[in-house]
A and B are shown apart, each in its own frame.
Chain A
Amino acid sequence: MRETVHNPLFHVVRRGVIPAWRAWLIRGGAILLSLVACGLVTTAVTGENPLAVYVTVFNGSFGTSRKFWTLLQNVAMLLCIALAVTPAFKMRFWNIGGEGQVLMGGLAAAACMICFRNSLPNGAIIALMVVSSILAGAVWGGIPGFFKAKWNTNETLFTLMMNYVATQLVAYFCVVWESPKGSGQIGVINQSTELGWLPVIGGQRYLLNVLVVLAVLAFVYIYLNYTKHGYEISVVGESERTARYVGIKVEKVIIRTMLLSGAICGLAGLLLVGSTNHTLTTTIAAGRGFTAVMVSWLAKFNPIWMVATSFLLVFLERGAGEISTNFGLNQSFSDILTGVILFFIIGSEFFINYRICFRRSTEREG
C-alpha cells in the first residue's frame, strides 16, 4: 500500500524568454491592478468615490494648461538627470551623485550670472554659463571616476559624499550672495535686468527645457547604442576582464563616461538655474538625483523607456499631491499611494521572469 503524497500547492518556474509584448502586457496589468488597489485604499481611508479620486489624479497633471506645463518641465528635468546617470549605470558604475553634480552645475551658472552682471553683455554671460556649468558637473562626476579608475575606490560612497560637499558649497555661496542682506537666500537673480536668463521660446517658459532634454535624449540614445564609446561602456559594464582581453583601456572608459555623466547633470543644473528658477538654493535638484536612479532602473537603462518611467513617476507624484490638497489629507498620503503603485510595478518583474505552477487537480492513483 502506498502512502498518499501531496505535491506542493504551487511551485515557481523560471520562464524562458517571453515576447516583449507579453512582458508589457504584464507590466500594464500591474499598473491597472495598482490603480485598483489605490482606489480601494483611498476609499477605505477617506470614504470618497474611487472614480473621483482618479479624476483628481488626472487633474493634478492635466487640469489646467499651467499644470500641464509644470508636469512637462518636471518630467523633462527628471528625465535629463536620469539620462545623465544612465551611461555610468550601463558601465555598472553606480553614480548616485547626480544631486551633487546638478548642484555644481547650478552653482557655476549662478556664479556667472552674479559675478559678470556688471561687466559682460547678456550673450557672453549665457555662453559662459553654458560652458562653466557643464564643466563643473563634469569635474564633480570626473573626480569619483578618476579615483575609481586609479585606486578602485567605491563609487557609490564616493559620489554620495560628493553630494554633501556640493550641498555645503551651495549653502556657503547662498550666504555670500544673499539678497536682501540677512535673508540667507539668493533670491531671484538679476530680476530687473534678466541678465543670464535663458531665452523663452514660443512664449512658453518651459519649452526650452523640454527641447534641450529631447536633444539630450536623442544624444544619449545614439551614444549608447550606435557609437564605439557606447559599445565600450557595455563591455566594461558586463566584464572588465573581457574588456582588457580585447584591449579596451578600462580606466580611460570609466573616467570618460563619468565626465559625460557629470556634464549632463551640470547641464540640468544650468536649466534649473538659468531657465526654471532664476535662483539657486540647496534644494534646487529636489531629490531628482536619486529619483533618477529609479527612472533609469525601471526602464532597464533604455533611454526611450525612460520617457515613460519619468513621466509615470512625476504624474503619480503630482496626482498624489492633488489628492492630498483636494481631500484635505497630508503629503504622507500621496507617499502611500506612490508606494502602492511602485510596489506593483516592481513586483511585476517577478512575473515576467517566473511562472507559478499550481498543483494539478487530477487525483493520482494510490
Chain B
Amino acid sequence: MKTLLLHAFMLFSGLIAAPFLLGVINRTKALFAGRKGAPLFQLYFDMAKLLRKGVTYSRTTTWIFRAAPVIGLSAVMTAMTLMPLARMSAPLSFPGDLVLFAYCLGLMRFVTVLAALDTGSSFEGMGASREVQFSALAEPVLIIAIAALVCAAGSPSLTAIFAAMTRATWQALGPALVLIVAALLVIFLVENARIPVDDPNTHLELTMIHEVMVLDYSGPDLAFILYAASLKLWVLGTLIVNIAISFLDLHGFFTPLAFTAGMLVLAVLVGIIESIMARLSLLKVPRLLMGALVLAVLAFAFIARFTS
C-alpha cells in the first residue's frame, strides 16, 4: 500500500511539475537577455486556454492526424511509468524495460511524423524529413548510452540500474559516466528540439524542425502536444539527473531533495546553453550527433572493458 501511494505520488509529481521546467528554461533565457520574462507558470496558462478552445481540422487530414496527439501523450506517459525518480523504484519495472522506454519515445516521434505527413503540406513534410533524419542518428546514441549503463550496473532494468549506482560506481568508472552524461545531454537537447539543433521560439522559419510538424494543430490537440513535449523534457531530464545524483550517495529524505534541485539545475543549464549558443546550421547537426555517438561508444567500450 505504501509503495502504491509512493508510485502514485511520483507519477503525479512528474505530471504536474513537468511544464514548470519549461518555465524555468524560459525565465533563464529572459534573464540572460535582460528581460523580465514570462511567468514561470506560463505553459499551464497556455494549456488551460487551449483546452477551452474549439478544434479546427483540415479537410485533407484523416483519423491519423486526430489520433496522433493522444497516442503521443500516452506513449510518453508510459515512458514515465518506467522511469524511477530519485533512486526509488519505478511504478512499472521488469528486465529490459529500458528498451520499452526508448521505443515509447520512438512511438511518440513516429506518430508526430505520421500526422505531419498526413496534413499533406510540403512544409510539414520537410519538418518530418528532418526529424526522422536526426532521430535516426540520435536513437543509437540513446540505446548505446543505456547499454553502457546496463553494463555498469549489471542489471537490465532501469530501477535496478539506478538502485545499483553509488559513489563506488563513480569512483570505478567516473570518466565513462561523465561521457554518458555528456552524450545524454546532447540527446536531451536534440529530442526536445532545443537550441543547438532546433529553436523552440521560431515559427514560420525554414530551419525549424519540431514546431513545423505541429503547425496544423489547434485547441485541445495543441495543448496535448505541448504537454507531451514537456513530459518528454521531464522524463529525459530524469534519466540524466538520476545518473548525476547517484554520485552524491544520499539516503532518505535528501534524495528527492537532491533530485528536485538537479532537475532545476538542468533546466537552468539548458537555459544558459540556449542563451550563449547559436543554432547550428542543419548541415552541422549530424556532426554534433556523431560526436554524441562517439562519446556513447567510448563510454560503452570503457565500461565493457572494466566489467567483463
Answer yes or no: do A and B interact: no
Task: List chain B positions with a Cβ less than 8 A from chain A.
Answer: none
